[in-house]
Amino acid sequence: MSIDFQPITATLGAEVSGVDMASVDGETLDQLRKAWLDHKVLVLRDQHITVEEHIAFGRLFGDLEIHPFAPDKAGHPEVVSLTSTSQDQSAASFWHSDVTWRQEPSMGSILRGVVLPPAGGDTCFADAGAAYDRLSPEWKERIDPLVAVHDFTSTFGRDLSREKRTEKQREYPPARHPVVRTHPDTGKRSIYTNRIFVSHIEGVSEDESREIIQSLERQIMNPSVQCRIRWEVDTFVMWDNRAVQHFATNDYWPETRQVERVTIVGDRPI
């Protein structure tokens, strides 16, 4: 079967057919790499593969991260296992890019549906480049030179003891990233701030910092730059963390939702 990519929107997302994630040759990998840059979010359905094959597929695109805070799958530290239940709702229901508090945030993520509710639990994606393009020239001029400080403390740090939090802050100090990053492969400019990991914008007042962060989030929230993915068991979604933001809908209580992710090491944003 030949590989087919069916776009979800004009600029964001594609459903992929004709790929077996357990057996990817060089030509297939080249096509996937190109499509990932073109569509930013790829959806591969009915991939009945093992955890080891999930890890091996991720490694085709680069080294894999070990997340210092999120729960992993037993025996597989490369796999982040995220479970939301009626007692513990852990869906990432906020617009963000993954681990932007790292000095070198992730290049991309590959997420698998494991246990899914009968309805709800979709993931929404936003094209951060298209969101930037829709800004006025005045706003672009205002934010292009700015730097944002990203910090894990207000999120993952909340559940740590004071001693452990201090230890992790030494290991993962606040990261300075451009408010507008340039994609290393496409050259595309895109919004690279989010409300949960960005503590402040450097060189402006606290009020202006808050205004900028909230205004840019509203750009990301525009449905015209988004696509929405409906999950099924053994559906895999891979996204370019340098080009998109995502939001996991929390609309399935009291059902359970479990997903598993491998995350590809990235580089320092410029």
Clarify whether residues 163 and 46 are in a common domain: no
Binned at pLDDT 50, 70 and 90, residue 91 comes out as: low
197 occurs within a structural domain:
yes
Clarify whether residues 162 and 177 are in a common domain: yes
Residue 62 has pLDDT above 80, yes or no: yes
256 occurs within a structural domain:
yes
26 occurs within a structural domain:
yes
Q: Which of 54, 67, 98, 240 is catalytic?
A: 98
- % pLDDT > 70, the chain: 99
> What is the Cα–Cα distance from 18 to 44, expressed in whole angstroms?
9
269 occurs within a structural domain:
no
187 occurs within a structural domain:
yes
Sign (positive or negative) of CA dihedral 96, 40, 8, 120: negative
Q: Are 110 and 238 in contact (CB under 8 A)?
A: yes
* Total of domains in the chain: 2
Helix or strand run (H / E) with residue 5: strand 4-7
58 occurs within a structural domain:
yes
42 occurs within a structural domain:
yes
Clarify whether residues 87 and 134 are in a common domain: no
Clarify whether residues 256 and 144 are in a common domain: no
Clarify whether residues 168 and 243 are in a common domain: no
Instruction: Please give the average per-residue pLDDT across 199-210, as a whole number.
Output: 98
Clarify whether residues 92 and 197 are in a common domain: no
Q: Which of 67, 96, 200, 242 is catalytic?
A: 96
HEC string for 31-86: HHHHHHHHHCEEEECCCCCCHHHHHHHHHCCCCECCCCCCCEECCEEEEEEEEECC
> What is the Cα–Cα distance from 62 to 183, expressed in whole angstroms?
16
> Tens digit of pLDDT for each residue in 27-60?
999 999 999 999 999 999 999 999 999 999 999 9
Binned at pLDDT 50, 70 and 90, residue 71 comes out as: confident
Clarify whether residues 66 and 144 are in a common domain: no
How does the average pLDDT of the chain come out, rounded? 95
**pLDDT at 70 (0 to 100):** 85
- For residue 224, count CB atoms less than 10 angstroms from its CB and return exposed for 0-12, middle for 13-18, buried for 19 or more: exposed
Clarify whether residues 89 and 55 are in a common domain: yes
Domain of residue 246, CATH code? 3.60.130.10
Clarify whether residues 170 and 191 are in a common domain: yes
* Domain residue limits at 172: 129-220
> What is the Cα–Cα distance from 68 to 89, expressed in whole angstroms?
20
**pLDDT at 1 (0 to 100):** 58
Q: Which of 54, 102, 246, 257 is catalytic?
A: 246
Clarify whether residues 152 and 179 are in a common domain: yes
Clarify whether residues 190 and 246 are in a common domain: no
Our answer to whether residue 96 is catalytic in this structure is yes
Instruction: Please give the average per-residue pLDDT across 2-27, as a whole number.
Output: 96
Instruction: Please give the average per-residue pLDDT across 97-104, as a whole number.
Output: 96
Clarify whether residues 110 and 231 are in a common domain: yes
Our answer to whether residue 261 is catalytic in this structure is yes
> What is the Cα–Cα distance from 270 to 30, expressed in whole angstroms?
25
181 occurs within a structural domain:
yes
> Tens digit of pLDDT for each residue in 137-190?
999 999 999 999 999 998 888 888 999 999 999 999 999 999 999 999 999 999
